[in-house]
A and B are shown apart, each in its own frame.
Chain A
Amino acid sequence: MSADHSRDPCPIVILNDFGGAFAMGAIGGVIWHGIKGFRNSPIGERRLGFLNAIKARAPVLGGNFGVWGGLFSTFDCSVKAIRKREDPWNAIIGGFFTGGALAIRGGWKHTRNSAITCACLLGVIEGVGLMFQRYAAWQAKPMAPPLPEAIAPPTQAQPLQA
């Protein structure tokens, strides 16, 4: 079982990640291709252009994101199962294999470049994530309770007033 209990256990998390990535790509595709379709259509046809661009392109982009997310999650799970450790190297190695696997049909240079780029990208993402995690932990660090006010030291006896 993964040490991160906020996520599903390994084989199920792949489906979860695939769906999440698909949704992210589809929503992003609606925004991106919607604007593009709207702008590239002649005046009077803009609504139709907007809708057609979304219908044609958004699911494709969602599918591309989904494949990436699912493959990455699959590799991540496999690397975790083999290494039996939970650290940022899992994601970096997973990213390396994902980039390579997606580009394998393009020849050895394409595979190499894609794998290295993907691993670097994941390394940066993991590094930034860790930085935020550290910063959040630093902000929420336990504070010592405030000390009660010090009792004033006895001063010289003052003369009684009438």
Chain B
Amino acid sequence: MSNIANVFNPKQESKPIEDCLSCDIFNSIFLLGTGGYLSSGKAILKDKKVSVKEFNKKNPIWWRNGVRSFGAFLIGYGIFRSFDTYESWKTSQEKKLSN
């Protein structure tokens, strides 16, 4: 690979970050909210000004289904993250009590 890539994009270490409860809580809420919005279909609602033909051209069925599926995936992932966050919070509380 050319060295020019290293000049324009020098390598930087990818640093791991510490656990952050507020970030995890926010992330779970955000995932659930975004997932709800996408799966509800509001993101791909037909505008009154746009004709059906044009709308179908811009938003084919695979796209509409994809957006809804992605929303459903985000909801599922949000639920998983919520439990994960709760578990990590519980563990940290238990550690605090034992100390």
Contacts and interface: CB of A to CB of B under 8 A. Distances in A.
Contact of A134 (B10, B31, B44): B10
B15 interface: yes
B15 A85 contact: yes
B18 interface: yes
Contacts of B20: 1-2, 9-10, 81
* Residue of B12, B23, B43, B58 ringed by the most chain A CB atoms within 10 A: B23
A8 B93 CA distance: 24
A121 interface: no
Contacts of A42: none
A120 to B, nearest CB: 12
A85 B23 CA distance: 13
Contacts of A3: 15, 17-18
Interface stretch (A33-41, A72-80, A141-149): A72-80
A31 interface: no
A130 B8 CA distance: 9
Nearest to A79: B27
A92 B48 CA distance: 34
B89 to A, nearest CB: 14
Interface residues on A, range: 20 to 34
Contacts of A104: 43-44, 67
Given A85-B17, A108-B63, A127 B23 contact: no
Given A1-B20, A105-B43, A127-B9, A78 B31 contact: yes
A85 B16 contact: yes
Given A106-B58, A134-B10, A84 B17 contact: yes
B22 A86 contact: no
B75 to A, nearest CB: 14
Interface string B14-41: 1111111011111100110000000000
A134 B10 CA distance: 8
Given A81-B24, A85-B17, A106-B58, 12 more contacts: A1-B18, A10-B22, A11-B22, A11-B26, A74-B30, A78-B26, A82-B27, A82-B81, A86-B14, A86-B17, A88-B12, A131-B10
Interface of B: 7-10, 12-20, 22-27, 30-31, 43-44, 47, 57-60, 63, 67, 81
